[in-house]
Structure 1
Amino acid sequence: DLFTNNIAYVQIGFDALSIPLDKVPYLSLVGNLVLGMGTRKHSYMEISQLLGIHTGGLRSWHFTSTKINDHKSLLSRIFFSGKGLMENLDHLFDIWDEVILEYDFNNPKRLVEIIKSSKASMEDSILSSGNHYVLSRLNSYQSLLGQYNELTDGISYYRFLETLLDRAEKNPDEVAEEFKGITQSLFTKENIFVNITAPESDYKKIEKRVLSLTQKLPAKKQTPAILKFETGPVNEAFLTASSVQFVGKGTNLFELGMEYSGRFDVLNAVLRTCFLWDRVRVQGGAYGSQSSFDSYSGDYGLVSYRDPNLTETLDIYDQIGDYLENLDISDKELTKILIGCVGRLDPPMTADRKGSASMVEYLTGKTYELKQKRRDELLSTRLEDIKSFAGLFRKIKESGNVCVLGNEEKIKKSKNRFEHLVKVFD
């Protein structure tokens, strides 16, 4: 119940845990096909025009996470997010009903276009945002969520797109049938989940259209698929023609026995703004670096961005334990860091962002009481609390995995640091 200036923000999601492991990579494209291939009534161009005339847009995205305090659980939903003025609500839901219930994948040329476009976008992204793919690969070494996300958004997914494009060009009907089977498994009454952000006075009108759509979906019982991931290679280096590297090292902190508290956020801020900034960026010449922690899954990764170095950066990561043990910062500096952390905890948000954040907290089990506990832990952090993490980072030094994406010649000079060298592009 929020003031939205007469705009309805609606997110309709479908549980994807019934999709078997070999079909999981298809999930990243399902939304693009549903919204981008047209229906039995309208072409994809006509659907796009209708959305532009009557709504604020309709987009799809794949949400994955674990639940709070259960890092071995898995959440996976395909969402369609739409917005429109309340006076155009019926137009929005008429289009929604059509794309969900009357999608049409029988357009081989358009099918190949969408797959080809996705592959081309990933090629550009791998070269320009290699840190994302290095972090994804690191996470796949160490958690169920990481393995799942690698299949839908990592280098493994790029490999899938290469194969899928070849198949779609040779036999588009077969590929279209596979996507159709996945949508039929997804779009059921049992799977649907709806998040509405609007004033209470508008809720009944939106609910009526949601219930109408739900009643039209098939009542098909789905059982969660058994996801048995094979143990793959670790400590990989991915070779490209790039002149820079994206250098990563990480592990799962929950598996190392760490219990997450708000104090870790302060530690992370110290590493980002002090140690990594000075050593990797200023002295090392990298464009940037990150210390990334997923408080749901426990996955942790240190990754540099457009880094001229490789082994030097990995050595810097291994020095964090010693740095923390000898850390000495003033109370004034620590207070500035705490203020920055609180700013990230409570950023200003628009109504639709508040609605989305509330939905994620509901799905993952993140309560107000837990958020307040984390905030209290953060605000009470002292220098000794930060220094106490030195032992944890010594464990990461010894047992952490590494992953690098970058210049082929540079990587081959340091090949003894890796177990596998893999060319990204043929």
Structure 2
Amino acid sequence: MKNYKLIEEKYIDEVASNCKVYSHIKTGAKVLTLENNDDNKAFGIGFRTPPERGNGVCHIVEHCVLSGSRKFKTKEPFMDLIKSSLQTFLNAMTFPDKTIYPVSSRNKKDFYNLMDVYLDAVFYPSIYEEEKIFLQEGWHYDLKSKDDELKYNGVVYNEMKGVYSSSENIVSDAMVFALHENSSYGVDSGGDPKLIPTLSYEEFKNYHKKYYHPSNSYIYLYGNQDMEEALNFIDKNYLADFDKEEINSKIILNDELKKTKDVEITFSASKEEMKEKIDYLSKGWTIGYADSKLDVFMRDFLAELLIDAQAAPIKKAIFEAGLAEDVYSETSSSFPLDLSIVLKNTDADRKDEFLKILKNTLENLVEKGIDRDLLEATLNKFEFIFREGGGTQKAIIYYIRALNSWLYDQSPLDALYYNDVLNEVKEKLSDNFVENYIKEKLLDNVYSVNLVARPELNKNDREEKELREDLQTIKEKMSNEEIEEIIKKSIELEKYQSEEDSLEAKKTIPSLELSDIDEKVTDYKPEEDKIGDVIYLKSNQETNGIVYTTISHDISFIKREEIETMSILLSIIGLIDTKNYSYEELNNEIYKATGGITFNPTVYVDSKDKEKYYLRMNVKMKSTAENVKRGLEIVDEIIYNSVLNSKKRIKELLNILKSRIESTMLQNGHQFIISILKSYYSKVAEIQSHIGGLDYYNFMRDLAENFEDRWEKFEKDSEEVYKKLFARDNLIISTVGNISDLNKIKDDLKVYIDKLKVENIKISDYDFKCENKNEGLYTTSNVIYASKGYDLEKLGLKYSGDLTVLANILNSSYLHNEIRAKGGAYGAGITIGRNCEMATYSYRDPNLSNTVKVYNEIGNFIENLKMSDEDLKDFIIGSMNAFDPLLSPEQIGDINLSRFITRLTIEDLEKSKREALETNIEKLNSYGKVFDDAMKKNYIAVFGSESIIRDSADLFKEIKSIK
């Protein structure tokens, strides 16, 4: 290739790819290709983008460049691709020191379209001609009339308000900023909401101009494709138009700390939360830099070994001292390698005790040595993580992994192979290498920070009030002309957001034709076998030597009042003592032999009759074929010999489980609120709420907080459930791997099966009553997550594939425009399942009343929907992946098991796909009344900011706190 200079070439087993590193001769653009037999083709372009201030400019540029460009003239080509592409990945991400734009697709024509749009977006965005892009995605003054309250609005602004609502995020950021003050890592690349409004349009444009140049770019190609053809396309259409420039994207590092720094911060808490110990304590170190491959591995290895593993000695010492309810590690994704230990729900006044325990534990490990079983188990765990390579999105994960060395002027290949480091560490274990490493990098390392975080009563409310006062002061100081100018800009922005793209602009967006779509659905059909009377499903897939085993037990005998106990029990077995192992020894045995063993309760809904459902417990294990036997022996130990009177350990685990659920509530608030809403009108969703949703959380929280009073009953109930959980009745086993391995392990599975008894299960049915609870559930968040919906089948609608197309239209057009673009929420959407259960959602949303109004108008929007055949074709194509998604080998096993249990066939899926392909506007219009009726049922649930919820109190039957 005449326009590229080959720098390095190597076949790397760990990524099953022939890897080549190039430099583009004219511009110096850096290029990496991973050629393999994966039909999922990926492209990425990234830039080194060190933040200069905490005003979010890197993040706002990331959003804005995808809002129109030189060749692609619509307001949001990104959303046009979301709605019209066969993409298997389409996103952009801001890191502390880089911004990346990755895409992937299994369709070659689609892949080139995506690559073209993204390259044009980063090099020729419309941001220079259209300020409104910056105002919408970044921030703007919002004022529609001179009597209105002046506000800040903007997508990134509201997204970061959501991020800054999480105490865990606040603690994590504070540690990084303290370790790296006065450096590129000492400010938030995502943007501090207090600083985002200091970013000017000019500074924003200058930042793009400075860093978004081929000479500062990192280009990536992956998959089964003609790399020369793709590279020539990139050169001819983009890189050839630029000359090499010296781009100063140098990352500024701080001087290493010469002594440990002490930091104290606060985070917001409600009155209810202030009564509890919800402080944080944290200790963080910088242990090296990413140009050392060994240090990169060892930082992550120590996080697991010392802190995160069930047998981790620091975690164990903290719990034995009763110092915290949860302990976890944090690691950085930047050039400095940071490692910190975080104690959550602790007492800040016990800081000295914490530091003493930490020091003593580490000294003891260095002096007496680390348990060799724990070392072996942790190394094996990493080997499985590397073997799996990132699962479904491995093509994108490999790009991010390569940048971990590439961005810092090392070879990108260094970060892709790992056997050398694993082998090096294994060889050095007997020389006390890990112990000496701990002494050097942790015990003797003064480049560290001790952090204390305490709750402050209603801090978010106070700061919101101060913000309103500041904005009022700003408004009062404005002249009439300035106010009129802001009003004019607000109205013009809303008009811009409301205007449909012109036909000419739409024609610039590349798209596929319906003739490009295969009407078939990929059939991963497993081979059906039997082991005695037990069904054995075998999915033949390339898994890099791993066998995924799922043993699915029928637990439909569980009574309603036993569900939460059963679910908690399945979360803790495998993590408590058994008759032959302490929980630490059990952890080591699990990970020496396998990549993990879990017990998951699952509800499957019959595809032919939604009133019919199946409650099952899936024992999941990943291992090599040689270790299936040992893995099953460990499963036997857990299911027959768990010690359920491990009172102290179970209390620890309850606190951890509670803490982790609370963390995911804010991170995945849209999924959480959908599950709550659906439990009002869906029997299955209500059961799922008791298995892992709000009802489960409330039960668990009550048990944890009143443990002494509840323990005796819980222990007795657990014993009753445990005795009957593992029956042979209706047993199904599903495996994924090389077919010869799956045949080889049948004898091992038979040994497991033969120990099980047939219990002649009697199914328990649960009463369910549709109930419109309309709850406003508040936290200390600054934003909300709102959902409205109903069961459309109860209103007479039967599922058809064109509902998936309608969901795509609503997601990427109506809800996106009204709630995200205009309303400033980070996201909004709708889900419509095969069972016709429908739920809307908003994500990190500042504007509840507007969002509900938008939901209420959905029926009207559908009834009056008009669009060209070309537009409809794009929406149809964009919905195709719903019928045939990209799956990892493990997910293929899960899908095959689910389809077998629910009786969902390939023919069913292909029928739905045909219905989607035959979508017509008139039929969609006819759904409008049903959606209108659904919204008039007025089932609503909202989670988040108390002040936003109380401002719309008339929406709710009950407003209450989620602590």
Quote how far apart the aligned CAs of 1:251 are: 0.5
Is the 2:604–2:898 contact (alpha carbons within 8 Å) kept by the matching residues of 1? no
| Stretch deviating more after TM superposition (298-307 or 170-179) | 170-179
Is the 2:564–2:690 contact (alpha carbons within 8 Å) kept by the matching residues of 1? yes
Give the structure 1 partner of residue 832 of structure 2: 293
Query: Which of residues 274, 277, 289 is equivalent to 2:813?
Result: 274
Give the structure 1 partner of residue 674 of structure 2: 135
Is the 2:778–2:962 contact (alpha carbons within 8 Å) kept by the matching residues of 1? yes
Query: Which of residues 870, 873, 879 is equivalent to 1:335?
Result: 873
Give the structure 1 partner of residue 280 of structure 2: none
Give the secondary-structure state (helix, strand or coil) at the position aligned to 1:237. strand
The answer to whether 1:366 aligns with 2:904 is yes
Give percent identity, aligned residues only: 27
Is the 2:553–2:728 contact (alpha carbons within 8 Å) kept by the matching residues of 1? no
Trace 1:156-175 onto structure 2 (pairs within 5 A). 156-170=695-709, 172-175=711-714
Alpha-carbon distance in structure 2 between the residues aligned to 1:349 and 1:121: 26
Quote how far apart the aligned CAs of 1:268 are: 0.2
Query: Which of residues 408, 411, 417 is equivalent to 2:946?
Result: 408
Greater helix proportion:
1
Letter in 2 for 1:412: R
Query: Which of residues 911, 916, 938 is equivalent to 1:378?
Result: 916
Letter in 2 for 1:44: Y
Q: Which has the higher contact order (CA 8 A, sep 6+)?
A: 1
Give the structure 1 partner of residue 107 of structure 2: none
Is the 1:239–1:411 contact (alpha carbons within 8 Å) kept by the matching residues of 2? yes
Letter in 2 for 1:71: K
Give the secondary-structure state (helix, strand or coil) at the position aligned to 1:36. coil
The 3 A distance-change label for structure 1 pair 238 and 34 is same
Quote how far apart the aligned CAs of 1:419 are: 1.6
Give the structure 2 partner of residue 309 of structure 1: 847
| Stretch deviating more after TM superposition (23-32 or 285-294) | 23-32
Query: Which of residues 143, 151, 164 is equivalent to 2:690?
Result: 151
Is the 1:101–1:217 contact (alpha carbons within 8 Å) kept by the matching residues of 2? no
Give the structure 1 partner of residue 665 of structure 2: 126
Give the secondary-structure state (helix, strand or coil) at the position aligned to 1:255. helix
Quote how far apart the aligned CAs of 1:380 are: 1.2
Alpha-carbon distance in structure 2 between the residues aligned to 1:118 and 1:249: 28
| Stretch deviating more after TM superposition (283-292 or 190-199) | 190-199
Quote how far apart the aligned CAs of 1:45 are: 1.6
What is the TM-score with the length of structure 1 in the denominator? Answer: 0.94
Give the secondary-structure state (helix, strand or coil) at the position aligned to 2:540. coil
RMSD: 1.9
Structure with greater Cα Rg: 2
Deviations 1:257-295 (A, max 9, x none): 111010000000000010111001110111111201221
Query: Which of residues 54, 72, 89 is equivalent to 2:593?
Result: 54
Give the structure 2 partner of residue 216 of structure 1: 755
Quote how far apart the aligned CAs of 1:234 are: 1.5
Trace 1:1-16 onto structure 2 (pairs within 5 A). 1-4=539-542, 5-16=544-555
Give the structure 2 partner of residue 20 of structure 1: 559
Alpha-carbon distance in structure 2 between the residues aligned to 1:17 and 1:144: 15
The answer to whether 1:263 aligns with 2:802 is yes
Is the 1:286–1:304 contact (alpha carbons within 8 Å) kept by the matching residues of 2? yes
Give the structure 1 partner of residue 724 of structure 2: 185
Deviations 1:282-324 (A, max 9, x none): 101111112012213x321111111101121111011112222
| Stretch deviating more after TM superposition (80-89 or 282-291) | 80-89
| Stretch deviating more after TM superposition (18-27 or 56-65) | 56-65
Give the structure 1 partner of residue 823 of structure 2: 284
Give the structure 1 partner of residue 295 of structure 2: none
Alpha-carbon distance in structure 1 between the residues aligned to 2:613 and 2:762: 14
Give the secondary-structure state (helix, strand or coil) at the position aligned to 2:797. coil
The answer to whether 1:349 aligns with 2:887 is yes
The answer to whether 1:96 aligns with 2:632 is no
| Superposition misfits of 4+ residues, deviation over 4 angstroms | 230-233
Alpha-carbon distance in structure 2 between the residues aligned to 1:72 and 1:189: 25
Alpha-carbon distance in structure 1 between the residues aligned to 2:738 and 2:757: 30
Quote how far apart the aligned CAs of 1:222 are: 2.4
Alpha-carbon distance in structure 2 between the residues aligned to 1:341 and 1:125: 28
Query: Which of residues 653, 666, 684 is equivalent to 1:114?
Result: 653
Quote how far apart the aligned CAs of 1:168 are: 3.3
**What 5-or-longer segments of structure 2 have no aligned partner?**
1-538
Letter in 1 for 2:881: G
Give the secondary-structure state (helix, strand or coil) at the position aligned to 1:210. helix
Alpha-carbon distance in structure 1 between the residues aligned to 2:720 and 2:918: 52
Is the 1:105–1:180 contact (alpha carbons within 8 Å) kept by the matching residues of 2? yes
Is the 1:67–1:75 contact (alpha carbons within 8 Å) kept by the matching residues of 2? yes
Give the secondary-structure state (helix, strand or coil) at the position aligned to 2:752. helix
Quote how far apart the aligned CAs of 1:77 are: 1.2
Deviations 1:355-408 (A, max 9, x none): 211110111110111111001111111232322221222112322411111222
The answer to whether 1:251 aligns with 2:790 is yes
Letter in 1 for 2:566: L
